[in-house]
Amino acid sequence: MTRPALVLALLLALAGCQHYSVEATLDADGGGRRVCELVCDAPGPTPEATVTHFREGFALSEASGWRRVDRDEEPQHLVFRRERELARAADWSSLDGEIAVPGRPGTEAAGVLFSNSVQVEASGEGEERTLSYRERFEWRGILPAASALIAELGGAALAADYPALDAPARAELRGLLAGAGLRYIALEQEDAGEPAYETFLAALAEQARAIIARQHPTATAPAIAERLHRVLRGAAEEGSALFAERLPGLDLVAATDLSFRLTLPGPVLETNADRVEGNTAIWQFGLSDALLEPVQLYAKVRVEH
């Protein structure tokens, strides 16, 4: 199935364009060390504007400890690095938001955020003492922002086709399209197929026709469906421009993956890692995997005295 251009940046996980690597070591006393690195594709000479784009898009401020690393062997890449030493278990929560994609302040997406949160817990006593590591990656507000954009583009397209629509009718259409946008994104994320999309589009067009026909009696559901189809499946430039304006890192997130290595102070007792090598739990995923539900990492180790 051909993915819709409008939400392409939201729904595709294209490995290899930007890559986070996290190396974390958890000590027996609950402290540890963490090195986070982001490698970005930037072919040829890198203008300062490109550096600014990555810094804004991924919240890589120097004030929070992110520094740019020059590597002669990788001139085609921009590399940003952050290192932290953690003295005790409670300090791991200071890493919350280290991996983040914020919405642009002052826009409808200002409340949208992709970020991580970290928790280390110690429990038990004596030989039964354990340490548990949890990290959660999630989007907040992204689906409402995306559906609002669909409603904005679709509402504008229908208003242009049916200029007699008054303000209440246009507002009703925007509300209908906002709700439909959430369903549409879910269908695309599930890769439900063309029959499901066509059923969705036909039902949406009929609902929109009922609103439009009050002032445009000759409006037909097939014509409205065709218009909405062009918005959903063909608004590449306009939709991408709006997403880039409101979510400066969203175009990058779709092409960003993350590999995470957590080394524990003993054999891994429990974990949901993709694989385990010795005392190290390893995960790999795309940031867009967290679109509909959080990605959660978990590992547990028995601590020897």
How much is the average pLDDT of 120-131? 88
Q: What does the pLDDT average to over 99-127?
A: 83
Within this chain, do residues 33 and 126 fall inside the same structural domain, yes or no? yes
Residue 18 covered by a domain: yes
Residues 115 and 13 placed together within one structural domain of the fold: yes
pLDDT of the residue at 14: 34
Q: Is residue 234 part of a domain?
A: yes
Q: What CA–CA distance (Å, rounded) separates 179 from 188? A: 15
pLDDT, one tens digit per residue, over 270-286 is: 999 999 999 999 999 98
**114 or 75: which leads in pLDDT:** 114
* Mean pLDDT, residues 231-241 taken together: 66
SS3 state of residue 300: strand
Say whether both 116 and 179 belong to one domain: no
Edge-first strand order for the sheet with 268-271 is 100-102, 113-123, 130-140, 295-302, 268-271
Torsion of the alpha carbons at 190, 172, 142 and 229, rounded to the nearest 10: 40
What local confidence, expressed as pLDDT, does residue 294 receive?
93
Say whether both 138 and 277 belong to one domain. yes
126/203 same-domain check = no
The answer to whether residues 39 and 78 touch, using CB atoms and an 8 Å cutoff, is yes
In the three-class reduction of DSSP (H, G, I as helix; E, B as strand; rest coil), residue 62 is classed as helix
Query: Do 265 and 132 reside in the same domain of the chain?
Result: yes
Beta strands in the chain (DSSP E): 18-26, 32-41, 67-69, 77-86, 100-102, 113-123, 130-140, 256-263, 268-271, 275-277, 280-286, 295-302
**Number of compact structural domains in the chain:** 2
Residue range 136-146: mean pLDDT, rounded: 84
Distance, CA of 193 to CA of 214 (rounded, Å): 33
pTM of the prediction? 0.74
32 and 121 in a single domain? The answer is: yes
Q: Are residues 75 and 177 in the same domain?
A: no
Selection from 264, 288, 286, 258 nearest residue 277 by Cα = 264
Range of the domain at 53: 8-143+245-302
Q: Does 119 have pLDDT greater than 70?
A: yes
d(CA 120, CA 241): 40
* pLDDT, position 79: 93
pLDDT of res. 263: 98
**What number is the average pLDDT over the span 62-83?**
88
Residue 120 sits in the same domain as residue 207: no
**Domain final residue pick, 243, 272, 294:** 243
Of 221, 243, 265, the one marking the end of a domain is: 243
Of 45-59, 63-77, 220-234, least confident by mean pLDDT is: 45-59
63 and 191 together in one domain = no
pLDDT per residue as tens digits for the range 164-221: 999 999 999 999 999 998 888 888 767 778 899 999 999 999 999 999 999 999 999 9
Surface-to-core class of residue 305, CB atoms within 10 Å of its CB (0-12 exposed, 13-18 middle, 19+ buried): exposed
Q: Are residues 233 and 172 in the same domain?
A: yes
In a domain, 3, yes or no: no
Residue with tokens 């939709």: 239
> Any idea what the Cα angle at residue 114 is, between residues 93 and 78, rounded to 5°?
95
The stretch 76-104 carries a mean pLDDT of 93
Q: What is the pLDDT of residue 187?
A: 83
The encoded tokens of residue 287 equal 């940031």
Is residue 99 pLDDT above 50, yes or no? yes
Q: Residues 276, 247: contact at Cβ < 8 Å? A: no
The pLDDT of residue 291: 75
pLDDT of residue 5: 42
> In this structure, is residue 232 part of a structural domain?
yes
| Residue 1 domain flag | no
pLDDT at 70: 86
Q: What percent of the chain has pLDDT over 70?
A: 83
- Residues 215, 250, single domain; the answer is no
The answer as to whether 2 is a domain residue is: no
